[in-house]
Structure 1
């Protein structure tokens, strides 16, 4: 949050961390938010790899306020052509 990699809303929704615009964490509100999240999410899968790269790139600007990075280039393929 302080490094602007996630919004205040993203911190609360994705990690259950409640903080102000300066990144100062409210410990009591964070505990309450995490309890609320646990109560609504159900059982977690054993391993969750998260969304696809395409989904992450599509949501990048909305979630971070920063433009999406360009996908990596296949170096071997680029050298051969």
Structure 2
């Protein structure tokens, strides 16, 4: 399946952004003894987006490339 039309940097950045907000929600739900439903759904969605970005980009991402991908995405949005 050809996924070359996807902007993998944008998908990766969105997935990482959702994960950043989901982790405190998960901790908060556990500390209040509530079921972490929304946080779990958010983590699943962020994981799926990150995996899609890694799968769609030829060669995938290395840990060294992730900050540059996020910076490119933010720069393109602000430009």
Q: Judging by fraction of residues, say which structure has more helix.
A: 2
The structure whose RCO (Cα within 8 Å, separation 6+) is larger is: 2
Greater gyration radius:
1
Determine if the TM-score, normalized by the shorter chain, exceeds 0.5.
no
